[in-house]
Amino acid sequence: QVQLVESGGGLVQAGGSLRLSCAASGRSFSTYATGWFRQAPGKEREFVATISWNGGITYYADPVKDRFSISRDNAKNTLYLQMNSLKPEDTAVYHCAAARTGTSRYYTAYDYWGQGTQVTVSS
């Protein structure tokens, strides 16, 4: 079992930055690939970024590529998402997730999920 708790969301103006954190507890977090997804009101859950267990492989969704950066610190059991140049369309609840089978853009590949943290970007 892995428990995930997100933090760091909030209200920010367009062009601003936020850093989300995802604290993990439970066994073997460092062996899981992890990712960030987001869900805006009335929309489906959307892939944002994913990172392999050792941080060596990362993938990003096209809308956030070059603006967001995913990283992890296995010694601290924590996943991060640095978000720069935020846009109003980035407004959503952001969830972190962990997958046994490796990096994936598909939410069905993930075994554990956090409750989410709200990010609101004003224009």
Per-position b or e across 85-120, b if 16+ CB within 10 A of its CB? ebeeebbbbbbbbbbeeebbeebebbebbbebbebe
Closest CA to 10 of 21, 2, 24: 21
**64-85 pLDDT, tens per residue?**
999 999 999 999 999 999 999 9
pLDDT of residue 10: 97
- Tell me 63's DSSP state: T
- In the structure, what pLDDT confidence band is assigned to residue 22 with cuts at 50, 70 and 90? very high
Q: Is the pLDDT of residue 29 over 90?
A: no
Residue 86, CA distances (Å) to 41, 45, 57 in order: 18, 19, 24
Q: Is 71 helix (H, G, I), strand (E, B) or coil?
A: strand
Q: Is 64 helix (H, G, I), strand (E, B) or coil?
A: coil
**Predicted pLDDT at 28:** 84
CA–CA dist 81, 121 (Å, integer): 16
Instruction: Tell whether the model's pLDDT for residue 27 goes beyond 80.
Output: no
Q: What band does 1 get if pLDDT is binned at 50, 70 and 90?
A: confident
Averaged pLDDT for residues 12-21? 98
